[in-house]
């Protein structure tokens, strides 16, 4: 899947980007389960803009959860 495809999927998801964000984080973080990731994302990225911005950031820089930045 291309970056553009991933970005489109992440921000255009009709039920919100939480599922795609979880998928993106799961790809680089193998010690947390999907449910734990979903719980954290839901807690810190409330509203509509924050999850979409988070999804965009993860698509463009997927290593963010593990690169200490």
> Where exactly are the structural domains of the chain?
3-60
Rounded to whole angstroms, the Cα distance separating 36 from 59 reads: 20
Confidence of residue 56 (pLDDT cuts 50, 70, 90): confident
Output the pTM of the full model: 0.64
pLDDT for position 6: 62
Q: Render pLDDT for 5-35 as a digit per residue (tens, 0 to 9).
A: 666 665 665 456 788 888 888 888 888 899 9
User: Left if phi > 0, otherwise alpha if psi is -120 to 50, otherwise beta: which for 68?
Assistant: left
Distant-in-sequence, close-in-space partners of 63: CB < 8 Å, separation ≥ 6? 28
Q: How far apart are the first and last CA of the chain?
A: 25
pLDDT for position 7: 62
């Amino acid at each position: 899947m291309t970056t553009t495809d991933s970005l489109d999927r992440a921000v255009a998801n009709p039920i919100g980007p939480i599922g795609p964000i979880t998928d993106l984080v799961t790809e680089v973080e193998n010690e947390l389960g999907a449910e734990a990731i979903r719980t954290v994302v839901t807690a810190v990225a409330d509203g509509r803009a924050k999850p979409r911005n988070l999804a965009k950031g993860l698509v463009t820089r997927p290593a963010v959860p593990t690169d200490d930045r």
